[in-house]
Structure 1
């Protein structure tokens, strides 16, 4: 009887512990993920500082930037409490204990910030593209794997329901075998649309942005085609870049065309700071049909020569894959694994490989034949 009572007590204790852990995990999953913003020199940060009060998945616990003028500007514009503002990342982490970093520095600073995040054991989401060079991308991948952190890349077009609809058509075979993809991205130019001075300064510096429009907008199409090709890198990259407005962009290109060759597919990426107006659209031509993501929500589909185009509104994206903050929170909570999707590290290492090759192709006037990247650990 004593032994039975002991076993019963042990079983009840185990059950209570399990229920307690389950309750703890549920409580943690319902709490906002603690996020620190690192960098205020990227203009996209304004959208995120404005978004935090309107949603419940993420709580802003710190804003870090070494420039006191940028901190004061953000504080005044977004009515931030002074307790959120820090000049040093290590001090901010020690004081506020974030679970993830949202990075809004120049692309050239991504590797340095991710090195710090890896040391601190924090997941990271950076603005596109991931890095300036293949060397940097491989170093970031190594850090992420060694320190068991997630590194994600945020693109505006990831949250376009039209792109998801077209990618779903590709993966389901509705379009047949994909033969050609054409992606147009860009706007009239960062100076022309009036981006913030601190943003324009590094966008037009090749040491901090990699190139001009070629990197700034070429990454969108490279991201989409890499997912469409299941992570496969192209066989070759051929690019042409030029500066049509040298008085405005003396050090970087403002217009580029990138041709990617795959075994049975070609992709043509057209990043530009010279479009008549802002555009981010994608055309996918298959052996059975073609589909065009016209804008964030609208899709055109044509299935036969004697059939007219059908135009429809794509189904809304579902949480947590509908916004970057929902997505980030789900990844931090380990509810979602960013594996070979538009945001994932694996996809974006290949994106950097494409951009780096395109930059070298444009500079040399030669087609760049791509070699397989070393696997992690090699």
Structure 2
């Protein structure tokens, strides 16, 4: 994420009042597991799943008055500055529809939406009501990915030719049942591994390319474990073709161990982001390949809640092609839409010019 951290009187303000829309997502526990910093205050939680509410209340010793079964009522009563969506991906649009007219900023867990049509509506609502809508990706926190982009921008890679992005794990089978129930639902999640992990590569590649959209998207999906995931794919390979660059995204629920890594190859060298802080590189005239461990990103960039609070306060300025920002994440959803269409049809999907695509809300083959 490219942001400028500004200091000033705003940094010493009272905690930012935040509400939560949905707590079935496996990442929703982060909000209560983070260290207390005094920068945010949770003033309301919307959820209709009574079992999950009971678990949350018992685990974090939360009062019943904090919980609401009506999103609009919660927003009107507690009047938060921002709301964080930790429910099914197809409900992100409903959260923005409720929050935007109330001038409440929104942060959702990745990806932004289950369809390009919803993503465009979110963009329209954000512009109309002047709110920020952020999408949180774990890989936005990685100093290794920032290093890759810096090398590219500084010309160390030369002309970018090939990018490989690998994201996945052993599968969500053992995760909390509330999360798995919709993560493996093609409507609520928009797909399986293609959505869950393919979004990382689409997000990072769009950012690396400064917002440029691919010319075409080709995808193949498969069910290696239909006994576990009968409704969605657990394997997806997505190929993004640009005028002179190709990106291969491998998304999987079938790998031995969890991994999130990126490889960028250019005409002058290559850089591999092996994990959050480890990078391997080789440039023109340099032998052999070198490995270095970077420092983690400075505060607040490894804490999405601090980032959200900073954006709301205006002490964090988002760059046009910020990893959290709408432009990159609208294209991310457009790529996922095209990948689903490609996997279903067995054809390469050629993206329409943005104006035509926006009018239809879809990526179609020509």
TM-score scaled by structure 2? 0.92
Equivalence for 2:339: 358
| Equivalences, count | 351
Q: Does 1:254 align with 2:217?
A: no
CA distance in structure 1 between the aligned counterparts of 2:38 and 2:356, rounded to whole angstroms: 38
Measure how far apart 1:290 and its partner are: 0.6
SS at match of 1:277: coil
CA distance in structure 2 between the aligned counterparts of 1:355 and 1:145, rounded to whole angstroms: 23
Match of 1:349 among 324, 330, 344: 330
Q: Does 1:272 align with 2:263?
A: no
SS at match of 2:112: coil
- Residues 8-60 of structure 1: CA deviation (Å, up to 9, x unaligned): xxxxxxxxxxxxxxxxx936753211111110111110122222x52222111
CA distance in structure 2 between the aligned counterparts of 1:101 and 1:81, rounded to whole angstroms: 19
CA distance in structure 1 between the aligned counterparts of 2:151 and 2:48, rounded to whole angstroms: 46
SS at match of 2:317: coil
Measure how far apart 1:377 and its partner are: 9.2
Equivalence for 2:149: 167
Measure how far apart 1:87 and its partner are: 1.6
CA distance in structure 2 between the aligned counterparts of 1:142 and 1:377, rounded to whole angstroms: 11
Equivalence for 2:263: 283
Equivalence for 2:77: 95
Match of 1:135 among 104, 110, 117: 117
Closer, same or farther in 2 for the Cα pair 1:27/1:227, shift >3 Å?
Answer: closer
Structure showing greater relative contact order (alpha-carbon pairs closer than 8 Å, 6 or more residues apart): 2
Equivalence for 1:231: 211
Equivalence for 1:217: 197
Equivalence for 2:310: 330
Measure how far apart 1:230 and its partner are: 0.8
Query: What residue ranges of structure 2 are gaps of 5+ in the alignment?
Result: 1-7, 360-366
Closer, same or farther in 2 for the Cα pair 1:301/1:135, shift >3 Å?
Answer: same
Closer, same or farther in 2 for the Cα pair 1:120/1:375, shift >3 Å?
Answer: farther
Measure how far apart 1:316 and its partner are: 2.5
CA distance in structure 2 between the aligned counterparts of 1:29 and 1:363, rounded to whole angstroms: 52
SS at match of 2:188: helix
Equivalence for 2:183: 203
SS at match of 1:207: coil
CA distance in structure 1 between the aligned counterparts of 2:86 and 2:155, rounded to whole angstroms: 37
The answer to which structure has the higher helix fraction is: 1
Equivalence for 1:43: 26
Measure how far apart 1:91 and its partner are: 2.4
SS at match of 1:238: strand
- Structure index of larger Rg: 1
Equivalence for 2:13: 30
Question: Cα RMSD (Å) of the superposition?
Answer: 1.8
Closer, same or farther in 2 for the Cα pair 1:77/1:31, shift >3 Å?
Answer: same
Closer, same or farther in 2 for the Cα pair 1:375/1:103, shift >3 Å?
Answer: farther
CA distance in structure 2 between the aligned counterparts of 1:206 and 1:99, rounded to whole angstroms: 32
